[in-house]
């Protein structure tokens, strides 16, 4: 068990691709869009890596026409790492994914306990599906691999691997916040969840505050646990075994965003966006359409800005890109309706010939178009009610290659811990405060904006995704990303 791990194996709810039913009734593979995919793909590529997860399609194997393996094999060859699917039935998806992961853990861990639906059947399905995943992990890995499990959907992996007698080195990273004890203890299965997390060798969080919250819950529910140490990574002693807890703020591939924003076609697209909006200032919001992202509050803040500061009318556009997410869930459909009504109200109240204040896109944009929007924007308005990290904030900075831009950031995003001195922090519930921040920063002169953005860009450049991976692997197995070298042949073949 102490030999050097041979391969990195990532396990997550979703594979970094989505299998969808195509218009002709067959299946098609599409690259995924979430934060996790953005963060991990560069880490596995051409390093013999394996990614285990659900394809996103309920039970495609039941469809005799689906050549799932063939579709994924083609994607694997292009992506440079192996994909291994876990097939889930419609009932499993409903209970484990929609019911427990997104109906209980997601709202609870974002401090929105009143949105939780504590359904014991969903909890049981969550355990069953975790067991199913663990069986595949056991089958597809060896004791030489390092198994890195991602996120709240799979908190029982180490627990089930151990219960099967399978020895693996395991690390777990939680992409969402970890709540304080007063909130966590509302969970009817609190003890089982916290116990399951103690079975990993390393549990990683986005911020020191998340790690502290976890340690406080651990002390409350398992008083025998003793947490000791200082710095980003500390040790929890459970009497018969130890494991480690760390804070590892996730990031982005800074160079990739920076380089893409500098590309002629992307810069040209950014210019076209500015031109179409008549070179007015652009305030940009980009989010999955989720109730944690504070989109209604943000639109209200835009309304307040226009009402309080009439001088500002006609001088800017607020562009909100909302990526469809969890559309099968009623709450998300209602949220979409609420957002669209609010936008209608603001536009109805303030538009005049030649100017509509809010532009709204309800779709996922191609990556280069998204980067063009980042590059075109004068202000990135990132105001989640609660967020593990928020990669959009970092991507916006990386794509602001001229160093001229402003990041207005919610103090409840994990990114605020890193950016507290450099971003303009706001309370997303305080619509007047957000309106004031917008009014002030719209009047900042270029020198102020450049000083602000240059510091932010430097932060993201220094603390990029590769540093995140390095710091996690260093804590987990005393190794670095570079210790899993890129295969020479694959690298040459990449062109």
Applying CB under 6 A, the span of 54-62, 140-148, 365-373, 450-458 interacting with ligand GDG comes to 365-373
Q: Check 175, 201, 287, 470 and give the catalytic one.
A: 175
Q: Report, in Å, the least distance between residue 361 CB and ligand GDG.
A: 8
Angle of the 295-308 helix axis to the 431-442 helix axis, nearest 10: 60
- Catalytic annotation, pick one of 258, 290, 387, 470: 387
* Residue 38 engages ligand GDG in binding (rule: CB under 6 A): yes
CA Rg value for the chain: 23
Q: Tell me, what DSSP letter sits at residue 486? A: P
C-beta separation of 406 from 444 below 8 A: yes
Q: Which of residues 306-345 bind ligand GDG (CB under 6 A)?
A: 321, 323
Tell me, yes or no, if 359 is annotated catalytic.
no
State which residue, 32 or 60, has the beta carbon closest to ligand GDG.
Answer: 32
Identified binder of ligand GDG from the candidate list 215, 270, 282, 370, rule CB under 6 A: 370
* Residues 6+ positions from 404 with CB-CB distance below 8 Å: 378, 446, 449, 450, 453
* By CB under 6 A, residue 238 contacts ligand GDG: no
Q: Which stretch binds ligand GDG (CB under 6 A): 6-14, 130-138, 364-372, 483-491?
A: 364-372
CB of 333 to ligand GDG, least distance (A): 18
CB-nearer residue toward ligand GDG: 153 or 288: 288
Rule CB under 6 A: is residue 33 a binding residue for ligand GDG? yes
Q: What is the DSSP string of 217-255?
A: HHHHH-TT-EEE--SSEEEEE-SS-EEEEEE------HH
Q: For ligand GDG, which stretch binds (CB under 6 A), given 36-44, 63-71, 90-98, 132-140?
A: 36-44
Interface with ligand GDG, residue 365, by CB under 6 A: yes
Q: Which is nearer to ligand GDG, 98 or 364 (CB)?
A: 364
Q: Which of 286, 343, 385, 460 binds ligand GDG (CB under 6 A)?
A: 286
Q: What angle do CA 232, 237, 243 make, to 5 degrees?
A: 55
Q: Is 137 helix (H, G, I), strand (E, B) or coil?
A: helix
Return the SS3 of 203.
Answer: strand
Q: What is the DSSP string of 351-419?
A: -BTTB-SEEEEESPPPHHHHHHHHHH-SEEEE--SSBS--HHHHHHHHH-TTS--EEEEETTBTHHHHH
CA neighbours closer than 13 Å in the CB half-sphere of residue 224: 7
Active site includes 253? no
User: Cβ 389 to ligand GDG, closest distance in Å?
Assistant: 3
Q: Is 65 helix (H, G, I), strand (E, B) or coil?
A: coil
Kindly tell me which of 52 and 252 has the beta carbon lying closer to ligand GDG.
252
DSSP state of 312: G
| Contacts with ligand GDG, 242-261, as mask; x by CB under 6 A | --------x-----------
> How far apart are CB 140 and ligand GDG at their closest, in Å?
24
In terms of Cα–Cα distance, which of 197, 82, 109 is closest to 149?
Answer: 197
Are 263 and 401 a contacting pair, CB within 8 Å?
no
Contact between 336 and 344 under an 8 Å Cβ cutoff? The reply is no
What character string, x for contact with ligand GDG (CB under 6 A) and - otherwise, covers 379-418?
Answer: --------xxxxxx--x-----------------------
Task: Give backbone dihedrals phi and psi of 420, rounded to 5 degrees, phi first.
Answer: -60, -30
Of 350 and 360, CB closest to ligand GDG: 360
> CB of 422: closest distance to ligand GDG in angstroms?
18
Contact between 186 and 153 (Cβ < 8 Å): no
Number of residues that bind ligand GDG (CB under 6 A): 24
Determine if 464 is a binding residue for ligand GDG (CB under 6 A): no
Residues classed as catalytic:
175, 387
Interface residues with ligand GDG (CB under 6 A)?
A: 33-36, 38-39, 175-176, 250, 286, 288, 321, 323, 364-365, 367, 370, 387-392, 395
């Amino acid at each position: 068990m102490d030999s050097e791990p041979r391969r990195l194996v990532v396990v997550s709810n979703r594979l970094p691709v989505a299998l969808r039913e195509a218009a002709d009734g067959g299946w098609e593979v599409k690259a995924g869009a979430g934060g996790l995919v953005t963060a991990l793909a560069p880490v596995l590529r051409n390093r013999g890596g394996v990614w285990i997860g659900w394809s996103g399609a309920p039970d495609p194997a039941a469809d005799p026409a689906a050549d799932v393996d063939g579709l994924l094999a083609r994607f694997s060859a292009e992506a440079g790492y192996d994909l291994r699917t876990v097939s889930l039935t419609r009932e499993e998806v409903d209970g484990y994914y929609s019911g427990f992961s997104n109906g209980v853990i997601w709202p609870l861990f974002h401090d929105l306990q009143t949105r939780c639906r504590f359904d014991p059947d969903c909890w049981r399905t969550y355990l069953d599906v975790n067991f199913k995943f663990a069986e595949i992990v056991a089958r597809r890995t060896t004791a030489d691999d390092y198994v890195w499990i991602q996120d709240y959907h799979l908190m029982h992996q180490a627990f089930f691997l151990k219960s099967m007698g399978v020895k693996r080195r395991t690390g777990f990273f939680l992409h969402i916040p970890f709540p304080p004890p007063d909130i966590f203890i509302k969970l009817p299965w609190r003890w089982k969840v916290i116990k399951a997390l103690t079975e990993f060798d390393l549990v990683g969080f986005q911020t020191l505050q998340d790690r502290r919250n976890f340690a406080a819950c651990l002390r409350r529910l398992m008083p025998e646990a003793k947490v000791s140490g200082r710095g980003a990574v500390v040790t929890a002693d459970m009497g018969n075994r130890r494991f480690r807890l760390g804070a590892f703020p996730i990031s982005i591939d800074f160079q990739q965003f920076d380089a893409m924003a500098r590309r002629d076609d992307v810069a040209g697209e950014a210019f076209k966006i500015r031109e179409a909006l008549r070179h007015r200032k652009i305030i940009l919001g980009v989010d999955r359409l989720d109730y944690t992202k504070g989109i209604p509050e943000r639109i209200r803040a835009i309304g307040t800005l226009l009402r309080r500061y009439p001088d500002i009318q006609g001088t800017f556009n607020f562009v909100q890109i909302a990526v469809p997410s969890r559309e099968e869930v009623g709450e998300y459909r209602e949220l979409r309706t609420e957002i669209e009504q609010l936008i209608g109200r603001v536009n109805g109240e303030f538009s005049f010939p030649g100017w509509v204040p809010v532009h709204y896109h309800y779709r996922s944009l191609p990556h280069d178009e998204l980067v063009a929007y980042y590059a075109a924007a004068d202000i990135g308005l990132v105001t989640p009610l609660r967020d593990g990290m928020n990669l959009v904030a970092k991507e916006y900075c990386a794509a602001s290659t001229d160093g001229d831009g402003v990041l207005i950031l919610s103090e409840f995003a994990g990114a605020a811990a890193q950016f507290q001195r450099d971003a303009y922090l706001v309370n997303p519930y305080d619509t007047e405060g957000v309106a004031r921040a917008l009014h002030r920063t719209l009047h900042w002169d270029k020198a102020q904006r450049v000083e602000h953005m240059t510091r932010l860009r430097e932060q993201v450049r220094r603390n990029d995704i590769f540093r995140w991976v390095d710091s996690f692997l260093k804590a987990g197995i005393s190794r670095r990303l570079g210790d899993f070298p890129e295969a020479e042949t694959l690298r040459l073949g990449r062109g």
